[in-house]
Amino acid sequence: RFKRVASRRVQEILSKMRLLRNCANKGNYSYTDEQVNKIVSTIDNEWKKVKSEFNKSKSKKEEFSL
């Protein structure tokens, strides 16, 4: 089930990212560096949350002992 759901979701994300990349065309859109930084920062922060969630399951297996 994971492979099916994750594959579909990743494909959707990649598709949306390609659409967002189209917004970089200065011939069709005007934008500021501040707007771009806000978009990139927001996406980067969300990506860090995703990575953190996947890494949580790995770190739960590690146990501390003396």
Nearest to 13 by CA among 47, 56, 40, 48: 47
**What is the value of pTM for the model shown?**
0.76
Give pLDDT, residue 56: 86
Per-residue pLDDT of 20-61, as tens digits, reads 999 999 999 999 999 999 999 999 999 999 999 999 867 666
Say what the alpha-carbon torsion angle 45, 48, 49, 51 is, to the nearest 10 degrees: 160
